[in-house]
Amino acid sequence: MRKQIKHKNYSPRLRWNVGKFGSSIYSKAQAYKFVATILFVSLLVILFAITNMNSMQSCQNMQPVIKIIDESGGKRLSGNTIETLQDSPFKDYVTSVSKYILPKIRETSQCKGNLQGNSEVKLFFVYRPLVAAKIAPFQLERTQSAVTKHLDSPWLKIVTGGSPQQLRQLVFIWSERQFLFDQALLSGVKAPTNQSLLPIDEQEFGKFVRDYTDSVLLAASPEARVAAQASISERLPKDILWLFSHSWQSTRGPFSGFVLSALNNATKQMADQYVDLTKILLNHYFTSEETEVCYDNIFSLKDLFTLNKYQINKLY
């Protein structure tokens, strides 16, 4: 005979305890899973914050290379610190513009998670006086990357290149002849706008001073002076003639001294407007979608800049 096996019949209380035990294990597993998820998300947040902090720190530490180019001594001198400059309108210009452009550079691709590769930006401030020994003018440095956008003007030159796009070079030109030529054009003088405005050597400038003195200042009569002014306008550069005609018209001292005084006054009067002009060009470049931005004379800026504010009527 087979022995009948009797199955144990657990009580309802025991079955409830077993079910409760299984449910407890499941709840703990879910809790552990939730905690692990929270830890993982927290780790991701921390890693993102560290990465973002490093990027911001790299951005803050990324200082453009600033070079001062002095073309006044017959040879090009280059320096890297603004503090070495003597107090002058040029130093004020360099200080104002450099403080303005640094945040602009940080807003570009160099500081938007795109710090790989060569993100160096070079800023050149060129001092180009009215009178100096003739040398070859400063030119943009050649870049290994292809130029994708640029600005060309007598006051500012900018090059953007590479892939992805990055600012490469900015050349700020403080040219005393350009100041004067702008004023000559604003006064109504007709002249080609694409002429070279390099410094004039001292000997040639002396000839201009003597020519103006003999022809205009020492004219025998008011009528002769008017005729002399018309004649000399064909011989002197337009910017030089504007400076001479706005200098103190006297022979009671060396006329060259009056010219130097007028030039200093013109530089001081134009300094703030020159900074404003530069800032406007910078803003236009950064906001424009054009890849080639070119301005060849002061009138080409009439839609960007208030020309009347830039114009000088009296130097004394």
Measured between alpha carbons, how far is 114 from 178 in angstroms, rounded to an integer? 37
Asked if residue 104 is part of any domain, the answer here is yes
Residues 6+ apart with CB under 8 A from 247: 255, 258, 259, 261, 262, 315, 316
User: What pLDDT, on the 0 to 100 scale, is given for residue 294?
Assistant: 93
Q: Is residue 202 a contact partner of residue 259, using CB atoms and an 8 Å limit?
A: no
User: What pLDDT, on the 0 to 100 scale, is given for residue 115?
Assistant: 43
User: What pLDDT, on the 0 to 100 scale, is given for residue 108?
Assistant: 63
Q: Is the peptide bond before 164 cis (omega within 30 degrees of 0)?
A: yes
Domain with 69 in it: 57-175
User: What pLDDT, on the 0 to 100 scale, is given for residue 14?
Assistant: 46
Asked if residue 130 is part of any domain, the answer here is yes
Asked if residue 39 is part of any domain, the answer here is no
Question: How do residues 240-281 score in pLDDT, each as one tens digit?
Answer: 999 999 999 999 999 999 999 999 999 999 999 999 999 999
According to DSSP, residue 19 is labeled H
Identity of the amino acid at 234: E
Identity of the amino acid at 276: D
Measured between alpha carbons, how far is 244 from 236 in angstroms, rounded to an integer? 10
φ/ψ of residue 186, rounded to 5: -65, -25
Asked if residue 124 is part of any domain, the answer here is yes
User: For the chain, what is the radius of gyration of the CA atoms?
Assistant: 36
Asked if residue 196 is part of any domain, the answer here is no
Measured between alpha carbons, how far is 225 from 98 in angstroms, rounded to an integer? 46
Asked if residue 267 is part of any domain, the answer here is no
**Overall number of domains in the chain:** 1
Count Cβ atoms below 10 Å from residue 183 Cβ, excluding itself.
24
Asked if residue 33 is part of any domain, the answer here is no
Task: Give the burial class of 15: count Cβ atoms within 10 A of its Cβ; 0-12 exposed, 13-18 middle, 19 or more buried.
Answer: exposed
At 172 the three-state DSSP class reads strand
Question: How do residues 72-120 score in pLDDT, each as one tens digit?
Answer: 876 666 666 787 788 899 999 999 999 999 887 877 644 544 444 456 7
Q: Is the pTM of this model over 0.85?
A: no
User: What pLDDT, on the 0 to 100 scale, is given for residue 29?
Assistant: 60
Asked if residue 165 is part of any domain, the answer here is yes
User: What pLDDT, on the 0 to 100 scale, is given for residue 23?
Assistant: 57
Percent of the chain scoring above 70 in pLDDT? 72
Measured between alpha carbons, how far is 70 from 158 in angstroms, rounded to an integer? 19
Q: Which residues of the chain have pLDDT under 50?
A: 2, 7, 10, 14, 16, 18, 48-58, 60-61, 109-110, 112-117
